[in-house]
Structure 1
Amino acid sequence: MPLGTLTISLDFELLWGIFDKVGTSYEPSYFRNTRDIVPDMLQKFAKAGVQVTWATVGMLFAENEEEWRAFSPSFLPSYRDRKYSAYEWIKKHGIRPEVHFAPELIQQILETPGQELGSHSYAHYYTLMRGQSPEQFRQDLQATQKIAKDKFGVKLESLVFPRNHINELYLGICVEEGYQYVRGNPKNWFWQETQHENLSKKFFRSADCFFQVGTRTSYDLEEVKIFENEPIIIPASRILRPVIKGNVLMNSRRLGRILHEMEFAAKHGEVYHLWWHPHNFGKDPIASLKELDQILGLYKKLNETYGMQSLHMKGIGELVEKRKLIEM
């Protein structure tokens, strides 16, 4: 039986990930907390021997507004609804370095053992929004690769589509621009076609974090397929939702669900792919880091008892590629 595998991917965005939802109404301490806890998270991952893919918005790589503009593509996304454009938001509200840039944190990610720096597009690009085009998406990916190479000397290979908007027509572009591995959505129906939201999907997604609603979330590595001229799609299993302040019962239920699923994956030799946004820890950093300690503590036990391994997205992708070579 194959070894169980814990995969973690993080959508590292700061304000770029939610500007279209919160505008200027965000609480500054929320992102200050996020910046403060990233080094703590890195330290905990390294100590536990846990590999993580940090899917990072390319704009965070910039040092200042001048650098941000220099690396931005010439062909900007032309969404019909302009509120989804990071560039339009900046025109109205301006740059705020503390929530828009984080090169020092990216450097720490690169210096921490077992961490993979991935992409969340350059401008938190929505590939399923009306008005944008394949060439605009291509230039967005090119901008991310250029700033990663010029500033940090790295090539990014793993990509997470913002808002989980996976445009299958764009998968070939991902490969052409260097992305070999892409995070897919969980297999349950309420995680499909996330651009078409409704109350039913939202309800079931929330309920499934606390109770068994959909099918099991872990999966056999054999389920991950390779298709010509497409990146390897590595499905997600579950999002670690933020701590609910003052609700001990619901927090316990939510975390317990994750711990149970991790143990199931370890015992049955399956992949369990957990993801979240670092800023999800911003509302209650202390409680959030305690939950992370519990997850990492269980991983160490599962590693010792069942041989469970930790692999980031690139690591999973390489396993799939190796399996394909053996079959050939």
Structure 2
Amino acid sequence: MGTVVISIDAELGWGFHDYPAEQRPTERIARSRQGWKDLAETLDEYDIPATWAVVGHLFEHDCAGAHVGHPSPSGWFAHERGDEPMDEQFRFAPDLIADLVESDVDHDIGAHTYSHVEFDADYATDLLARAECDRATEAAEAAGVTMRSFVFPRNRVGHREILAESGFTCYRGTEPETTADGPYSAPLRKLAQATVVRDPPPLVEPSVDEYGLVNIPASLYLFGFEGPARRVLAATVGDPVVKQARLGIDAAAAEDGICHLWLHPNNLTTEADLDRVRAICAYVDRVRADTDLTVETMRSVADRVRAEDLSVA
């Protein structure tokens, strides 16, 4: 019996605050709150719990642009200050988080650091990583949320020992290396998978690392194949990512292992993007009803794996 896990990098404007202003994807940022709402409504409609890895700053109601004592790089919070700060609705989201907490679906509210720090970057000192964990945890607990799952910004894994010391129990690891043969670039591999390859995205197995954390690797990023090629294929053979996701869901229903899908709310900028998510959720719901497939969150997978590990010990 396999399972499907969906994890969500819930960051609004924080995912791009370290970009130069002229390089920020303004459409994705502008649509990020509506994308969050659409995604939450779709998951609720199909009774699918997900892990929402939330940037801790989004729990705040107001910080007046001041983060006294936070050991961040110079200018890290500059987008909150100056003559043209990023709009508050993309820096704060206690209302959106409250809706998740109050949902009838048992979502897992996890962490995506406090201010979207890349934990393996040169600037990410131990002191900064610990502060990011501490502040995210404190902001969540002030809202009545206890976080145990962790997703690294831009999937750059680092400082796992600090995660463990901060009370987290699991994290999303990176996707396994592709098995595609030949000297192909990543875009060509994606095109081949979308049009020719019949193999599903990899099912993954959670494992306990040396710090006692459960690593739950990703299987498929739902918005990794975009642009004109996607639009052409969608018009001729259907959405290639939906096809890949269905193959992974079918594999999980037939075997042991996890099909771990992930995305950002800010990926949902068009009706076609939302249609992709709705089609995948509807398929999960249909297969779950006809098989032994389960849907879990990262937190529930970690609880199960840790319990099994203790029983073996």
TM-score, with normalisation over the residues of structure 1?
0.82
Mapping of residues 260-275 of structure 1, within 5 Å: 260-275=247-262
The answer to whether the 8 Å contact 1:208/1:214 transfers is no
User: Do residues 145 (structure 1) and 108 (structure 2) align?
Assistant: no
For the residues of structure 1 that align with 2:239 and 2:72, how far apart are their CA atoms? 42
Question: Kindly, what percent of the aligned residue pairs are identical?
Answer: 22
Residue 17 (structure 1) aligns with: 15
The answer to whether the 8 Å contact 1:16/1:86 transfers is no
My pick for the range that moved more, 207-216 or 174-183, is 207-216
Residue 291 (structure 2) aligns with: 306
**Shift of residue 22, structure 1, vs aligned partner:** 5.6
For the residues of structure 2 that align with 1:251 and 1:210, how far apart are their CA atoms? 10
**Shift of residue 327, structure 1, vs aligned partner:** 2.1
The residue type equivalent to 1:239 in the other structure is: Y
Mapping of residues 215-254 of structure 1, within 5 Å: 217-219=201-203, 223-241=205-223, 244=227, 246-247=231-232, 248-249=235-236, 252-254=239-241
The answer to whether the 8 Å contact 1:54/1:115 transfers is yes
More helix by share: 1
Residue 110 (structure 1) aligns with: 101
Q: For 1:214-254, what per-residue CA distance to the aligned partner results, in whole angstroms no more than 9, with x for missing partners?
A: 9863336xx42223433111110000017647432476222
My pick for the range that moved more, 125-134 or 51-60, is 125-134
Mapping of residues 131-142 of structure 1, within 5 Å: 131-142=123-134
For the residues of structure 1 that align with 2:136 and 2:118, how far apart are their CA atoms? 15
The answer to whether the 8 Å contact 2:120/2:157 transfers is yes
TM-score, with normalisation over the residues of structure 2?
0.86
For the residues of structure 1 that align with 2:13 and 2:237, how far apart are their CA atoms? 27
For the residues of structure 2 that align with 1:139 and 1:55, how far apart are their CA atoms? 17
Q: For 1:115-162, what per-residue CA distance to the aligned partner results, in whole angstroms no more than 9, with x for missing partners?
A: 111111011011222233111110111010111111x11121111010
SS in 1 for 2:77: helix
**Shift of residue 26, structure 1, vs aligned partner:** 4.7
Residue 257 (structure 1) aligns with: 244
Unaligned runs of 5+ residues in structure 2 are: none
For the residues of structure 1 that align with 2:184 and 2:18, how far apart are their CA atoms? 23
Distance 1:128 1:50, change over 3 A: same
User: Do residues 74 (structure 1) and 69 (structure 2) align?
Assistant: yes
- Aligned residue among 116, 130, 134 for 1:124: 116
- Aligned residue among 287, 292, 302 for 2:272: 287
The answer to whether the 8 Å contact 1:244/1:251 transfers is no
Q: For 1:155-201, what per-residue CA distance to the aligned partner results, in whole angstroms no more than 9, with x for missing partners?
A: 2111101011102xx111001111111000011169xxxxxxxx976
For the residues of structure 2 that align with 1:188 and 1:125, how far apart are their CA atoms? 24
The residue type equivalent to 1:134 in the other structure is: D
User: Do residues 171 (structure 1) and 171 (structure 2) align?
Assistant: no
Q: For 1:54-93, what per-residue CA distance to the aligned partner results, in whole angstroms no more than 9, with x for missing partners?
A: 1111111121242x63xx4613233xxx6xx642444455
- Aligned residue among 61, 64, 67 for 2:62: 64
The residue type equivalent to 1:63 in the other structure is: H
- Report how many residues are paired: 303
Distance 1:143 1:165, change over 3 A: same
The answer to whether the 8 Å contact 2:209/2:215 transfers is no
For the residues of structure 2 that align with 1:144 and 1:200, how far apart are their CA atoms? 40
For the residues of structure 2 that align with 1:225 and 1:27, how far apart are their CA atoms? 35
RMSD of aligned Cα (Å): 2.8
For the residues of structure 1 that align with 2:187 and 2:162, how far apart are their CA atoms? 34
The answer to whether the 8 Å contact 1:219/1:270 transfers is yes
